[in-house]
């Protein structure tokens, strides 16, 4: 109660602490964006004598990312619709963080048992742990209702910058001497075979789970609902849940904006689920240095994500939604569609393309939560954010089968794969053009017009 009364320049210190706590939790949850960096280590370990099968490929292991997306979609749906009303934000944070940390820790043993169990622990369980994202979205915005775009950009930036830190941690623990990956005969894909590298992989998973737990515990302690938040009642019954679903149906599912937001997120997620997964596998087909990719791509891509979420989140408070999303779509379509050409242009071009892509695609995760709350209000904003994430289930299945069909171990396969990925932002741009202009967008248009006239 005392902290809620203390203010810094008119801002309650509890609001600042909650935003910092949400940022720290997002910082750790965003570690899954290192999937593309950690995948070669895990796959190489599983192909070794210490693992389960010498025939496992990157395309096989990509199923882990698929199932993570499914778990993520389910958790983001049930968290705001069921778990937060039933348990409250703090308990949902605790459950989500325990699942996320536990999934990483359990993978230390499951990778010696079978790929299917790795899919469960590193994919499904960690994906379900992403339920902790929902309170990280809604709690800070409830403290700063007049600055949703800005606060969303700041908090979710933690999700993006995570890879800057965690990629370096992974490299320092697993491959500090920059041992090269080796391409087996008959394939362009490269794997690690050095015993020193492979023996460090279990230590990597122990270390990551410990880091996750430490920072997320601090985040949970700091994050708290505003004083006017109504805690869930013990008398919550399934009848109340039915009424909530009925209200959601009549207030949300009957509106065109919901479906347009659903399609937009679906289309942009095509990029977010593929580029972070395959960028390193693609890079290793023509760049032999693991440390080069990790230091200059894995590290700086996190900074690019942080800038992206911050910049676009702030922009949404000043620039109309359509203009922001269409600009983002155009840049993504251009650079994803031409990404394969970097293997002919060299390492510098590869760096530039990756930086531009990472400066662009993460922005949708700052834009859409703020837009959902703006359009549907604080009552339904959270459930809408979770519901549109259900598209991840269908999307990840699509990516899995398309990836398996296209990627057969040849570098040239990536050309067709990236052209497929490019379709996402193109459709996302077209969909956005049909979005009705809100009163807030009209005000932003007026601001932009005034700035241009000046």
Instruction: Give residue 126's pLDDT band: very low, low, confident or very high (50, 70, 90).
Output: very high
Q: How many CA atoms lie within 13 A of 309 on its CB side?
A: 28
**Does 48 or 117 have the greater pLDDT score?**
117
Angle of helix 364-388 relative to helix 133-143, nearest 10 degrees, comes to 110
Distance CA 146, CA 73 (A): 28
Mean pLDDT, to the nearest integer, of 266-276? 87
Mean pLDDT, to the nearest integer, of 379-408? 79
Query: In this predicted model, what pLDDT tens digit does every residue of 58-71 receive, in sequence order?
Result: 878 888 888 888 88
Query: In this predicted model, what pLDDT tens digit does every residue of 321-333 receive, in sequence order?
Result: 899 999 999 999 9
Instruction: Give residue 426's pLDDT band: very low, low, confident or very high (50, 70, 90).
Output: very high
Q: Which range, 167-176, 288-297, 425-434, has the best average confidence (pLDDT)?
A: 425-434
Cβ–Cβ < 8 Å for 159, 31: no
SS (H, E, C) the chain: CHHHHCEECCEEHHHHHHHHHHHHHHHHHHHHHHHHHHHHHHHHHHHCCCCCCCCCCHHHHHHHHHHHHHHHHHHHHHHHHHHHHHHCHHHHHHHHHHHHHHHHHHHHHHCCCCHHHHHHHHHHHHHHHHHHHHHHHHHHHHHCCCCHHHHHHHHHHHHHHHHHHHHHHHHHHHCCCCCCCECCCCCCCCECCCHHHHHCHHHHHHHHHHHHHHHHHHHHHHCCCCCCCCCCCCCCCHHHHHHHHHHHHHHCCCCHHHHHHHHHHHHHHHHHCCHHHHHHHHHCCCCCCHHHHHHHHHHHHHHHHHHHHHHHHHHCCCCCHHHHHHHHHHHHHHHHHCHHHHHHHCHHHHHHHHHHHHHHHHHHHHHHHHHHHHHHHHHHHHHHHHHHCCHHHHHHHHHHHHHHHHCCCCCCHHHHHHHHHHHHHHHHHHHHCCCCCCHHHHHHHHHHHHHHHC
pLDDT for position 109: 92
Enter the pTM of the model: 0.74
Mean pLDDT, to the nearest integer, of 424-447? 87
Region of poorest pLDDT, from 72-81, 147-156, 234-243? 234-243
pLDDT for position 235: 47
Compute the mean pLDDT over every residue in the chain, rounded to the nearest whole number. Answer: 83
Match 């210490």 to its residue by tokens: 50
Mean pLDDT, to the nearest integer, of 275-299? 80
pLDDT for position 425: 94
Match 């490929």 to its residue by tokens: 57
Instruction: Give residue 8's pLDDT band: very low, low, confident or very high (50, 70, 90).
Output: low
Mean pLDDT, to the nearest integer, of 7-36? 82
- Degrees, nearest 5: CA angle 387-390-391: 120
The structural domains of the chain, ordered by start, are 12-223+253-453 (1.20.1250.20)
pLDDT at 7 over 80: no
pLDDT for position 428: 94
Cβ–Cβ < 8 Å for 388, 136: no
Cβ–Cβ < 8 Å for 392, 267: no
Tokens found for residue 330: 């155009």
Q: How many CA atoms lie within 13 A of 48 on its CB side?
A: 21
Instruction: Give residue 240's pLDDT band: very low, low, confident or very high (50, 70, 90).
Output: low
pLDDT at 342 over 90: yes
As a whole-number percent, the residues of the chain with pLDDT over 90 amount to: 30
- CA separation, residue 215 to residues 210, 310, 397 (Å): 9, 21, 32
Mean pLDDT, to the nearest integer, of 339-354? 93
Instruction: Give residue 234's pLDDT band: very low, low, confident or very high (50, 70, 90).
Output: very low
Nearest to 369 by CA among 142, 84, 144, 137: 137
As a whole-number percent, the residues of the chain with pLDDT over 70 amount to: 89
Q: Which range, 47-51, 132-136, 212-216, 439-443, has the best average confidence (pLDDT)?
A: 212-216
Q: Which range, 14-23, 153-162, 273-282, 309-318, has the best average confidence (pLDDT)?
A: 14-23
pLDDT at 378 over 80: no
pLDDT for position 453: 65
- Contacts of 453 by beta carbon, 8 Å cutoff, 6+ apart: none
Region of poorest pLDDT, from 49-53, 431-435, 437-441? 49-53
Query: In this predicted model, what pLDDT tens digit does every residue of 132-186 receive, in sequence order?
Result: 988 888 888 887 777 766 777 778 778 777 877 888 899 899 988 888 878 776 6
């Amino acid at each position: 109660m005392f902290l809620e009364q203390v203010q810094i320049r008119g801002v309650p210190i509890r609001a600042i602490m909650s935003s910092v706590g949400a940022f720290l939790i997002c910082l750790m949850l965003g570690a899954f964006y290192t999937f593309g960096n950690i995948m070669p280590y895990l796959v190489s370990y599983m192909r070794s004598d210490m693992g389960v099968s010498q025939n496992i490929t990157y395309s096989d292991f990509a199923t882990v990312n698929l199932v993570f997306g499914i778990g993520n979609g389910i958790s983001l749906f049930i968290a705001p619709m069921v778990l937060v009303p039933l348990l409250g934000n703090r308990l949902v944070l605790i459950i989500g963080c325990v699942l996320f940390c536990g999934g990483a820790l359990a993978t230390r043993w499951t990778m010696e048992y079978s790929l299917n169990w790795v899919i469960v622990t590193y994919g499904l369980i960690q994906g379900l742990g992403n339920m902790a994202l929902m309170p990280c979205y809604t709690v800070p915005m409830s403290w700063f209702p007049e600055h949703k775009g800005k606060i969303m950009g700041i908090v979710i930036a933690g999700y993006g910058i995570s890879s800057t830190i965690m990629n370096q941690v992974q490299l320092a623990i697993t491959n500090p001497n920059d041992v090269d990956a080796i391409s087996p005969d008959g394939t362009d894909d490269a794997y690690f075979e050095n015993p020193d590298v492979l023996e460090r992989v279990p230590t990597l998973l122990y270390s990551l789970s410990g880091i996750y737990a430490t920072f997320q515990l601090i985040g949970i302690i700091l994050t708290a609902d505003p004083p006017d938040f109504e805690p869930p009642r013990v008398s919550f019954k399934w009848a109340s849940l039915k009424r909530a679903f009925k209200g959601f149906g009549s207030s949300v599912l009957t509106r065109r904006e919901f479906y347009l937001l659903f399609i937009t997120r679906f289309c942009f997620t095509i990029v977010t689920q593929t580029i972070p997964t395959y960028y390193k596998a693609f890079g290793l087909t023509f760049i032999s240095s693991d440390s080069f990719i990790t230091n200059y791509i894995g590290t700086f891509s996190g900074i690019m994500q942080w800038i992206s979420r911050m910049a676009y989140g702030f922009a949404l408070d000043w620039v109309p939604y359509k203009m922001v999303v269409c600009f983002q779509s155009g840049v993504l379509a251009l650079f994803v569609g031409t990404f394969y050409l970097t293997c002919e242009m060299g390492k510098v071009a590869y760096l530039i393309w990756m930086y531009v892509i990472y400066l662009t695609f993460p922005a949708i995760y700052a834009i859409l939560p703020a837009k959902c709350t703006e359009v549907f209000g604080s009552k339904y904003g959270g459930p809408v954010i979770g519901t549109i994430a259900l598209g991840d289930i269908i999307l990840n299945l699509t990516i899995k089968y398309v990836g398996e069909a296209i990627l057969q171990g040849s570098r040239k396969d990536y050309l067709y794969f990236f052209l497929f990925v490019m379709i996402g932002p193109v459709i996302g741009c077209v969909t956005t053009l049909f979005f009705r202009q809100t009163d807030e967008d009209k005000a932003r248009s007026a601001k932009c017009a005034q700035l241009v006239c000046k």
